[in-house]
Amino acid sequence: MEELCINLLKKRGVELEDIADCVIFLQKKYVPELNQEIALEEVKMVLRKREVQNAILTGIYLDEMAESTMEEGPLKDALVSDNGLYGIDEVLAYGICNLYGSIALTNYGYIDKVKPLIIGKLNQKTQQCNTFLDDIVGAIAASAASRLAHNR
Amino acid sequence: MEELCINLLKKRGVELEDIADCVIFLQKKYVPELNQEIALEEVKMVLRKREVQNAILTGIYLDEMAESTMEEGPLKDALVSDNGLYGIDEVLAYGICNLYGSIALTNYGYIDKVKPLIIGKLNQKTQQCNTFLDDIVGAIAASAASRLAHNR
Amino acid sequence: MEELCINLLKKRGVELEDIADCVIFLQKKYVPELNQEIALEEVKMVLRKREVQNAILTGIYLDEMAESTMEEGPLKDALVSDNGLYGIDEVLAYGICNLYGSIALTNYGYIDKVKPLIIGKLNQKTQQCNTFLDDIVGAIAASAASRLAHNR
Amino acid sequence: MEELCINLLKKRGVELEDIADCVIFLQKKYVPELNQEIALEEVKMVLRKREVQNAILTGIYLDEMAESTMEEGPLKDALVSDNGLYGIDEVLAYGICNLYGSIALTNYGYIDKVKPLIIGKLNQKTQQCNTFLDDIVGAIAASAASRLAHNR
């Protein structure tokens, strides 16, 4: 399952290193020794959780359907336009962050507003629908940041 | 949107009266004057919230895809078997309940275990995939129950 | 800290074995080999988490103040009467359960309604204010139950 | 209760206008017509919710006790130093934001990191303990911002 999720992320344009860079963006000032290797280790630990894997599978499935066979209607409209009032993408993201406590939640809120690095790239209008993907990547990075904060 | 959600629920076998009966199940002992008309009014108020509508659209879409075009794999397996460790159905349900406070959350937890009335029926193995639907119905009933508790 | 929390619980009338019995109540039908030793192990794992420890310290502090030096007013009224609309006791409980995913949340909602064993005893009107304590004990038991469900 | 909460906030150095300014900080770029009067109206609507009032009473009580009669120990240490790993202040803040949906949650995460205006002032080390207060103010502002986003 972990392998499958890593491959799905890669297929949608996200390498684990991209997520690790977001962790560094969030925690560098609190953890001076932080580097990509350390950040990557935490990202991988987050990806080992079953609920995280299920959020990835479900969110990316919805993004892919919005690009392909989903019929016209309010759900497709919300997904294709990444409507800020849709909200279910953030609900899934919080489902991940909640597992890592309040530091994950505030970091996710921050990164979701600032949209640095890969999150900014995913958020630009492209051919691909990334409505769920950008929030899931942000939630994984924020959760890895929370692990770091608690362990160091 | 409200109309659309009510029709979607009906198409999947859930009448608003069925949800109202779950509200009565949850609140009858606290609100003696409770009847189907009062309960129905609260259910309709919950269905007017945009986040609730989006959870309904998204959850039922996933249930329907699991019955039809979703390709074989761990997501379809989890949905078709209503695997208790999948967890995303409850994440969506909590996305609804959170909007109505702690009384909604505890009521949802209770009704999700006891599975009374329509929730029990949805949960029986049938041709139809109700993995998201039973949780969404429980969350709407629990939210309506919380509204009742706060308003009376 | 873990020691301190265990001693605080004991001082307020809760032994770890009481919480373990609640875990058995919740999970016995899913995990036939479950016994007090296994349940106790999971309870101890939950008590090792920093956020859980902080919830215990904070909740019991509020209960104790409500019994002693807290001045008259709406906060004391809510705590002394365990007012069902107060809600902050459940907020702290969800702060614990969220860390253990959706199975913890639904189990907490259920146990908070049914109030078995020690939770029922704590909830009876006594000299002692247990407004936070009963929810915290329920949340720890529900979290330990979720750990069990995921690990077996 | 609403009056009491407004007076408590004032006594601790927070005017409703300070919170309204945080709402403007969060939403000005999305709602061009936003001014202090509009923002203040939304802040007052948030303060009318019972759970918000109870979070204010409870959080400020803990801040005040940390300054005065709370005995030495890990709870007092965490509160006096506003320890980032304590986490219960954010749990209370999320108890507020959850009622206003995902836009409130992300806005709170953002404002809690950036600490603009009154939140920055509260966060500076002073004689006064503001461990809960700054998070509660951020949560009220984020919730008012979410109301604005949904209503305009």
Across the interface, do A102 and D113 touch by the CB < 8 Å criterion? Answer: no
Domain boundaries, chain B: 2-151
Please tell me which of the candidates B1, B70, B85 has its beta carbon nearest to residue A74: B1
CA separation, residue A142 to residues C107, D24, D114 (Å): 27, 26, 16
Please tell me which of the candidates D90, D101, D102 has its beta carbon nearest to residue A106: D90
For residue A138 the two structure tokens come to 């942000």
The neighbours of chain D, by the rule of 3 or more Cβ pairs under 8 Å, are A, B, C
**How much is the pLDDT for B127?**
86
Residue to substitute from B61, B98, B135, interface A, most A β-carbons within 10 A: B61
Under a CB-based contact definition with an 8 Å cutoff, are residues B55 and A91 in contact? yes
Please tell me which of the candidates A87, A91, A113 has its beta carbon nearest to residue D110: A113
Across the interface, do C69 and D74 touch by the CB < 8 Å criterion? Answer: no
Q: pLDDT > 70: what percent of chain C?
A: 100
Query: pLDDT for C101-118, tens place per residue?
Result: 999 999 999 999 999 999
Across the interface, do C91 and D95 touch by the CB < 8 Å criterion? Answer: yes
Per CB-CB distance under 8 Å, the chain B contacts of C94 are: 102, 105
Per CB-CB distance under 8 Å, the chain D contacts of A107 are: 109, 113
Q: From A90, which residue of chain B is nearest by alpha-carbon distance?
A: B95
Under a CB-based contact definition with an 8 Å cutoff, are residues D108 and D139 in contact? yes
- In this prediction, residues C106-132 reach a mean pLDDT of 94
For residue B125 the two structure tokens come to 């193995």
Residue to substitute from D68, D75, D92, interface C, most C β-carbons within 10 A: D75
| pLDDT exceeds 90 at position D64 | yes
Cα–Cα distance between C120 and C9 in angstroms, integer?
A: 16
Cα–Cα distance between D47 and D49 in angstroms, integer?
A: 5
Q: D interface toward B at CB cutoff 8 Å? A: 50-51, 95, 98-102, 150
Average pLDDT, chain B: 97
- In this prediction, residues D101-105 reach a mean pLDDT of 97
Mean per-residue pLDDT pooled into runs of 10, chain A (152 residues): 97 98 97 97 97 98 97 97 96 98 97 97 90 98 97 88
Alpha helix stretches (DSSP H) within chain A: 2-11, 16-27, 36-47, 50-67, 74-81, 88-97, 102-114, 117-123, 131-151
Q: Which residues of B30-40 are buried (b: 16+ CB within 10 A; e: fewer)?
A: ebeebeeebbb
Residue carrying structure tokens 């761990």? B74
Q: From B103, which residue of chain D is nearest by alpha-carbon distance?
A: D51
| pLDDT exceeds 90 at position D92 | yes
Instruction: Give the distance from residue A88's alpha carbon to the nearest chain B alpha carbon, in angstroms.
Output: 7
Across the interface, do C70 and D91 touch by the CB < 8 Å criterion? Answer: no
For residue D127, name the pLDDT band (cuts at 50, 70, 90). confident
For residue D29, name the pLDDT band (cuts at 50, 70, 90). very high
Under a CB-based contact definition with an 8 Å cutoff, are residues C131 and C62 in contact? yes
Per CB-CB distance under 8 Å, the chain C contacts of B102 are: 87, 90-91, 94
Per CB-CB distance under 8 Å, the chain B contacts of C113 are: 106-107, 109-110
Burial class (CB in 10 A: 0-12, 13-18, 19+), A80: middle
For residue D57, name the pLDDT band (cuts at 50, 70, 90). very high
Across the interface, do C100 and A101 touch by the CB < 8 Å criterion? Answer: no
Instruction: Give the distance from residue B106's alpha carbon to the nearest chain C alpha carbon, in angstroms.
Output: 4
Across the interface, do A102 and C50 touch by the CB < 8 Å criterion? Answer: no
Across the interface, do B150 and D50 touch by the CB < 8 Å criterion? Answer: yes
Instruction: Give the distance from residue B115's alpha carbon to the nearest chain D alpha carbon, in angstroms.
Output: 25
Please tell me which of the candidates B87, B106, B112 has its beta carbon nearest to residue C90: B106
Please tell me which of the candidates C75, C87, C95 has its beta carbon nearest to residue D61: C75
**How much is the pLDDT for B152?**
84
Query: pLDDT for B27-65, tens place per residue?
Result: 999 999 999 999 999 999 999 999 999 999 999 999 999
**How much is the pLDDT for B13?**
97
Cα–Cα distance between A3 and A13 in angstroms, integer?
A: 15
Instruction: Give the distance from residue B140's alpha carbon to the nearest chain D alpha carbon, in angstroms.
Output: 15
**How much is the pLDDT for B126?**
77
Other beta carbons less than 10 A from residue A128's beta carbon: 14
Per CB-CB distance under 8 Å, the chain A contacts of D84 are: 103, 149
Stated pTM of the model? 0.97
Residue to substitute from B50, B99, B146, B151, interface D, most D β-carbons within 10 A: B99
Query: pLDDT for C61-75, tens place per residue?
Result: 999 999 999 999 999
**Range with lowest mean pLDDT among A23-32, A141-150, B117-126, D39-48:** B117-126
| pLDDT exceeds 90 at position D14 | yes
For residue C131, name the pLDDT band (cuts at 50, 70, 90). very high
Q: Which residues of D105-141 are buried (b: 16+ CB within 10 A; e: fewer)?
A: bbbbbbbbbbeebbbeebbeeeeebbbbbbbbbbbbb
**How much is the pLDDT for C127?**
86
Q: From C86, which residue of chain B is nearest by alpha-carbon distance?
A: B102
Q: C interface toward B at CB cutoff 8 Å? A: 84-85, 87, 90-91, 94, 101-103, 105-110, 112-114, 149-150
B2-151 carries CATH number 1.10.3760.10: yes
Residue carrying structure tokens 């860390």? C99
Average pLDDT, chain D: 97
Instruction: Give the distance from residue A107's alpha carbon to the nearest chain D alpha carbon, in angstroms.
Output: 6
For B128, half-sphere exposure in the C-beta direction (CA atoms, 13 angstrom radius) is: 14
Q: D interface toward A at CB cutoff 8 Å? A: 84-85, 87, 90-91, 94, 101-103, 105-110, 112-114, 149-150
Please tell me which of the candidates D85, D107, D149 has its beta carbon nearest to residue A150: D85
Q: Is the ipTM of this complex over 0.90?
A: yes
- In this prediction, residues C75-94 reach a mean pLDDT of 97
